Amino acid sequence: MLERDQRPQPVGEFQDPDAWMEACEVFGEDGALSRLRIFCKELADHLDRIENARPGNAALRDMAHRAAGRAGMFGFLALASASADLDEAARHDRGVALALERWMQQAQRVAKAVPE
């Protein structure tokens, strides 16, 4: 177990440091950062797709489901929660616009937090 001062630092002030440390223990710090960059690129792609193509509920559910797990793994708990809410809203076709707006805010926040 790493000492507190040796722990990998979160990339964003809104990132759970314990979850980030676990990801770094599993993948190594460089591996975790590489995977996080890929995730952020995918988030940016999803955001572009949403703005340009207005995907249907099935596509939103798929996107939200994939984002939820990885956001949680990397410690972005607000994005993980917003992803779960979007998945649920799209599944029941209720409150999709509000859930999508929240998801987009969190996804933009995470995508901008990670250094390239």
CA distance 40 to 87: 19
82 in any annotated domain: yes
Q: Which residues contact 7 (CB under 8 A, 6 or more apart)?
A: 17, 21
108 in any annotated domain: yes
Predicted model pTM: 0.88
What tens digit of pLDDT does each residue of 31-82 get?
Answer: 999 999 999 999 999 999 999 998 999 999 999 999 999 999 999 999 999 9
7 in any annotated domain: no
pLDDT of residue 6: 54
1 in any annotated domain: no
9 in any annotated domain: no
Q: Model confidence at 110, in pLDDT bands (50, 70, 90)? A: very high
Burial call 61-94: b when 16+ CB within 10 Å, e when fewer: bebbeebbebbbbbbbebbbbbbbbbbebbeeee
3 in any annotated domain: no
What tens digit of pLDDT does each residue of 77-89 get?
Answer: 999 999 999 999 9
Q: Model confidence at 5, in pLDDT bands (50, 70, 90)? A: very low
Tell me which residue range forms the domain holding 88: 15-113
pLDDT (mean) for 96-102: 97
* Structural domains of the chain, count: 1
76 in any annotated domain: yes
81 in any annotated domain: yes
